[in-house]
Structure 1
């Protein structure tokens, strides 16, 4: 038995957004962004602190005093936990069954897909209440907050299980409902974060499938060092495996340059080996990093003048850029950046920093995206021994998916720009007709980020899903409400005039391929009494009365674009 305060009142009307559309105004526009950007964060046990969810080492029992199964719903040990929770399910929604949640506005949605549920056996009608047990197939279910379910899913998925705090308290957690990394005082370093490892031949033959399954979401692969040396012995294998498994990767090159001339040679060596191993600029989800550290090399001394280092960096950059590799960065550690590398131009290129401490000491990151190498003693399945661990992400929240559109003559081209560390993406476009309640696939999964959308005039939801082409891992999805009018061509003139006892009717538009219909509605009889195809028609000898003359414009493939209606007295 569920106590009264658990009872959820569900609105039965489909009213996700209140929209109005006029076909006489702008042809298409986004009315409201109804997506909640990307990702339920993955974390271990969590505790809340000032709105931030942090990783904790302690595992407490649930409120009943017993240990709940990791795969069951909170407060409902016999109800299976979903594999994921859609971004469309807000934290303040209430989960009411294994697969349904109700929003504060009363909309019932599928937990995993976020689609609004309209089945009257589940949500009822305006005149008929649904059986409350229909949602659970007759089983009892205690409603629970969506936030609790999301946290339970995160715990059950155990992603980044080995990406734990470093020795000094820097730790993983969540922020803005995304995975995040914090320093020991809970100051945010990055949100929308990814757990990334950097590797070399010293990690041996890595079982990349196991590493990915253990939470590795990216890799920075050593290609080599200095100039004139062999490539890293495992670079080719590591690159090939990351490509095969769809693991986003970047490259790093350790520098021994003490002069700008040697830096240029190092850059040429990097380019040669990238091409040797088949790494195109488009393959790189993370930059090619120039690793600048205080090195030891018999008979040589590393530079100490930041101006010399700046010329070294510029020459290396020039060699890479001239070969088409534009996604570049500098890697170093805080003390070196505050010494020999202390130059504004070098800081403007530094996006990855090592700091094995409680906090990040470098505070001059030039871009919103950045990486913190926070430990060198990480443990990951598939790698024997230690491995460097990094948190890469954004300081400020960035929309991962942005929708674009261009109104063409007879349809609308819809497109997307995606900010995600994947080199090859696939897209699926759908539209939902708010009036008819039907979904339509505009373009099924393919590599094109643009699609032609052809529909009748009306109010729709435009929905896009994006995934990694290699691994089929979901990158995210976005939905916007859209007042759709197909194309940019409109009715520009209508005519109704007497010819003796008949009425000549006409309509024109600026669409040379347009198709037309003309109709007559008898107001007294309340019915259509005549209809014609084409731009011109003769309405023969109409009887006395009040009528509507109605003109319709269609695209060449039969999609309604616009209507015009006028009163006509006889």
Structure 2
């Protein structure tokens, strides 16, 4: 079985970023997806072919009620569900989304939108994730779990970190708590500009395996980054069963080989 390695496909040599914009420039009229020998193939705007890959959406309460039966019929291979944000804030639609992907046998992972300004808060976020995993009997220790690291302004009297070493400490505490509980399939989700600035460290790049870079051409350089990895190429896709826009990513299927 051929395994996706984005860095090999496009022949890049260093882990870096060539875009600082989150504005989507994707040409939605041009369908990059096709099938070959029963697996998805993705042809990006530069003509480079990525295979085999999975078409993966990520959803939260912002998508409200998702018709997961229609999603499954629309050639979506997997979904990443927002478990919540910060600590103690479960996504309002997580319970229903989880139940429905289980019923429809859709492979899935999870993400937490982080509000951590320090290691103590990161530990609380990890504890919240673990409590929610127990609450819903999510016992598969290999389920993909992503720590969503995005730019946040200071909030609630708290000063947000500004240096990569501070974010390293936050992520290490979050990952450490989940690893101590046996969860092994962990990664950072962020966008290209954030990776090039606030998260610009070797250690963080080594753990950032899901990157948003909105373009029809793969501009983010994954060489030296964790393998497997994933590219979120648009936030404005339309998928049957989802009302309005939805994020779509190109995923290495190995993320989900043992997931529920």
With the shorter chain as reference, the TM-score category is: 0.7 to 0.9
SS at match of 2:240: coil
Are positions 1:212 and 2:77 aligned together? no
Structure 2 gaps of 5+ residues are 3-24
| Paired residues for 1:280-291 under 5 Å | 280-282=139-141, 284=143, 287-291=144-148
Give me the TM-score of the superposition, normalised by structure 1.
0.39
Mapped contact 1:333–1:353 kept (Cα < 8 A): yes
1:82-107 C-alpha deviation (Å, 9 max, x unpaired) = xxxxxxxxxxxxxxxxxxxxxxxxxx
Report the Cα distance in structure 2 between the residues aligned to 1:216 and 1:173, rounded to whole angstroms: 12
The Cα shift of 1:181 comes to 2.3
| Paired residues for 1:63-462 under 5 Å | 166-167=26-27, 171-173=32-34, 178-188=39-49, 190-227=50-87, 229-282=88-141, 284=143, 287-296=144-153, 297-357=155-215, 358-364=217-223, 366-393=225-252, 421=257, 423=259
Structure 1 gaps of 5+ residues are 1-36, 39-164, 395-399, 401-418, 425-570
Report the Cα distance in structure 2 between the residues aligned to 1:420 and 1:313, rounded to whole angstroms: 22
Report the Cα distance in structure 1 between the residues aligned to 2:177 and 2:142, rounded to whole angstroms: 19
The Cα shift of 1:321 comes to 0.9
1:163-186 C-alpha deviation (Å, 9 max, x unpaired) = xx9338793346798422243212
SS at match of 1:222: strand
The Cα shift of 1:257 comes to 0.8
Count residues with an aligned counterpart: 236
Mapped contact 1:351–1:365 kept (Cα < 8 A): no
Q: CA RMSD in A?
A: 2.6
User: Residue 12 of structure 2 aligns with which residue?
Assistant: none
1:411-459 C-alpha deviation (Å, 9 max, x unpaired) = xxxxxxxx963546xxxxxxxxxxxxxxxxxxxxxxxxxxxxxxxxxxx
Give the structure with the higher percent strand: 1
CA spacing shift, 1:324–1:420, aligned 2, 3 Å: closer
CA spacing shift, 1:283–1:234, aligned 2, 3 Å: farther
Mapped contact 1:217–1:247 kept (Cα < 8 A): yes
Q: Which has the higher contact order (CA 8 A, sep 6+)?
A: 2
Report the Cα distance in structure 2 between the residues aligned to 1:280 and 1:309, rounded to whole angstroms: 28
The Cα shift of 1:327 comes to 1.1
SS at match of 1:318: helix
1:91-144 C-alpha deviation (Å, 9 max, x unpaired) = xxxxxxxxxxxxxxxxxxxxxxxxxxxxxxxxxxxxxxxxxxxxxxxxxxxxxx
Which entry has the higher C-alpha Rg, 1 or 2?
A: 1
Mapped contact 1:369–1:393 kept (Cα < 8 A): yes
Give the structure with the higher percent helix: 2
The Cα shift of 1:303 comes to 1.4
SS at match of 2:89: coil
Mapped contact 2:214–2:234 kept (Cα < 8 A): yes
CA spacing shift, 1:256–1:365, aligned 2, 3 Å: farther
CA spacing shift, 1:282–1:313, aligned 2, 3 Å: closer
Report the Cα distance in structure 1 between the residues aligned to 2:203 and 2:168, rounded to whole angstroms: 7
| Paired residues for 1:490-505 under 5 Å | none
The Cα shift of 1:226 comes to 0.9
Moved over 4 A (4+): 173-178
The Cα shift of 1:352 comes to 0.6
1:224-259 C-alpha deviation (Å, 9 max, x unpaired) = 1112x3300111111111111110000000111111
